[in-house]
Structure 1
């Protein structure tokens, strides 16, 4: 059994706080202003500065960011949205929330991401948007098909829930001209406790996103707080990020370079430790440009290996069961051979900032033992 070197070291994932978050939250609580406040707006400014973009709009969750992005792009019933089946179900639920139809795309099993060709294989005359998922933190480059997508007026909405801080070429994800959605949930690369943020392409989009997240209400700075003077100009939802969550995010952002370095070094430590282990394929997150969010491998007899490792105290997981095989989405099922194979073989190893290289060596040793035990038993998944 693994001997944890920090809080939750044996878990599959664990939140990581630097120690200043509590004081930041206390300041917000002492102010008596708990909702969307100047703290939220400061967090938006700081994120925009970090990413090198003109604007960023904070919302209450990554799912809210995806939903709002689709609304902003004008996606509606009758439209199709190309999305990889290998993603968290929130991506698909956001598509259904606007009444559009998900069209599932296959993935490259080496990266768990879509490719430009796999996207085009799923595009039809009804496609209004594509939603590449930046799985594990790896950027997805659709440059080879961008002119074709633009000519067809197909929006690109990046699900970058795993990829805050990662780069696409020389630029940070979010700065490459797409509507980009980040998640700041408890175990993300940067956490707000709960939250998300959108990177708009234009000032008009930023205004629309801000209106949607505030129930369609439009107020000037001077009007804010005067409840007798506001205008409802369109559809909206209660999607604002609170100052409490933003304060956590600001404290995290102050230390993000440390988190970036730590997560990359931990992933590289896994790569070194796994190098001599037969029967294991490490999923490539492009560590030179990514801030890794997950460490995943493909193994035969995954369920039995999962059971063996869990019994030995290692918190492994499965990210994710393919969405096109889920009962709620079965009507849109397509033949996706790579996704279906990965769905049977993918195993997520413990990955978070409480880990040490010694912990990683222990995880890999237990993985090796599990593979031997399963192989000797002759069982099949």
Structure 2
């Protein structure tokens, strides 16, 4: 009979709540203030303190964070932004939203991330920003080439949607001197239900990001409520994070030590269970430093293995089909052999804090059977 009796292995990813998020939201509802409020500002302060940075700017989503950060970095018509093709399409759409063009870069097959040599190979005269994607939560160190990039006027805008809480050395991701963008979507390491954050490099940049997220308006809500006018000083969007979402984020942040320990333990449990399984390569996330967001393997006959596992209620996924092969991005297509090979082989195993060690045994046993079936006569 097809199927398994353990419901948590049927989900590739799942939100994880600790139980006090609901009460936090109710407090905001009872306040009568649902938009950008002092709760949002407290969330910004707490995230900045957690990361060890001077400031953090909350926005409505991770995609909004990338869009605003790229605008702050000078992306626009006539410019290019270097980005790996191996990422969720939101990264590329944020680039296009600025009017800039994506310049796709290949990846290191062991990590599914760009490295310094691949970045520099892709940079051209029209490049204004590089967007390294911290894939699966893996920290990326571009510090050695940041001076070269800065000399050429190229900003580093980190897509850390998968990497909240990960460390680059002893410091949290977000402290490297880049514009770092986080996502707090439903299944991320820390969730607000929906939300995002940017760590600015300077106070001036923080002011610009805050204007961008509020339609270019510079005056505070208090000033607007007590004045017959307000100032709009430039282009902006409605990208604020609501107090309702920020309240969820604050409750989650209080438990983050548990979150990161749980995710590391689950990834290591998978690594132990997969060791020795022929035909499977585990994608390295640098678990000593990363707070893993995904657990991925590379397998031959991936599509057959995927179909077999899905038929048996194992919630595998593919993160992600390469963007440079998508119809929407044909104008910027270029050969990326490492990305294309990975795109044929990657498989994301169920990975979320609801899983138990027994669940992982079920997944790995099913994977072993699927591999045997896919490669058999």
| TM-score (norm. length: structure 2) | 0.98
Could you say which residue in structure 1 is the equivalent of 2:238?
Answer: 238
Q: Could you give the per-residue CA deviations for residues 54-82 of structure 1, whole angstroms, max 9, x where no partner exists?
A: 00010000000000001111111111100
Could you say which residue in structure 2 is the equivalent of 1:282?
Answer: 282
Q: Could you give the per-residue CA deviations for residues 250-301 of structure 1, whole angstroms, max 9, x where no partner exists?
A: 0000100000000000000000000020000000000000000000000001
On the 8 A contact 1:2/1:359 being kept in 2, the answer is no
Could you say which residue in structure 1 is the equivalent of 2:23?
Answer: 23
Query: Are 1:254 and 2:270 an aligned pair?
Result: no
Q: For 1:231, what is the secondary structure of its paired residue?
A: coil
Q: Could you give the per-residue CA deviations for residues 14-50 of structure 1, whole angstroms, max 9, x where no partner exists?
A: 1000000110000011111100000000000000000
Query: Are 1:266 and 2:261 an aligned pair?
Result: no
On the 8 A contact 1:190/1:249 being kept in 2, the answer is yes
On the 8 A contact 1:2/1:363 being kept in 2, the answer is no
On the 8 A contact 2:179/2:201 being kept in 1, the answer is yes
Could you say which residue in structure 2 is the equivalent of 1:3?
Answer: 5
| TM-score (norm. length: structure 1) | 0.97
Structure 2 stretches lacking a partner, 5+ long = none
Could you say which residue in structure 1 is the equivalent of 2:111?
Answer: 111
Could you say which residue in structure 1 is the equivalent of 2:359?
Answer: 359
Q: Which range moved further: 154-163 or 121-130?
A: 121-130
The CA distance in 1 between the partners of 2:224 and 2:53, in whole Å, is 26
The CA distance in 2 between the partners of 1:229 and 1:317, in whole Å, is 51
Q: For 1:198, what is the secondary structure of its paired residue?
A: strand
Q: Could you give the per-residue CA deviations for residues 226-256 of structure 1, whole angstroms, max 9, x where no partner exists?
A: 3623100000000000000000000000100
The CA distance in 2 between the partners of 1:256 and 1:94, in whole Å, is 28
Q: For 1:104, what is the secondary structure of its paired residue?
A: strand
Q: For 1:216, what is the secondary structure of its paired residue?
A: coil
Query: Are 1:346 and 2:346 an aligned pair?
Result: yes
Could you say which residue in structure 2 is the equivalent of 1:47?
Answer: 47
Q: Which range moved further: 66-75 or 261-270?
A: 66-75
Could you say which residue in structure 2 is the equivalent of 1:101?
Answer: 101
The CA distance in 1 between the partners of 2:50 and 2:233, in whole Å, is 32
The CA distance in 2 between the partners of 1:54 and 1:172, in whole Å, is 13
Q: For 2:190, what is the secondary structure of its paired residue?
A: coil
The CA distance in 2 between the partners of 1:119 and 1:51, in whole Å, is 26
Moved over 2 A (4+): 1-4, 7-10, 224-229
Q: For 1:218, what is the secondary structure of its paired residue?
A: coil
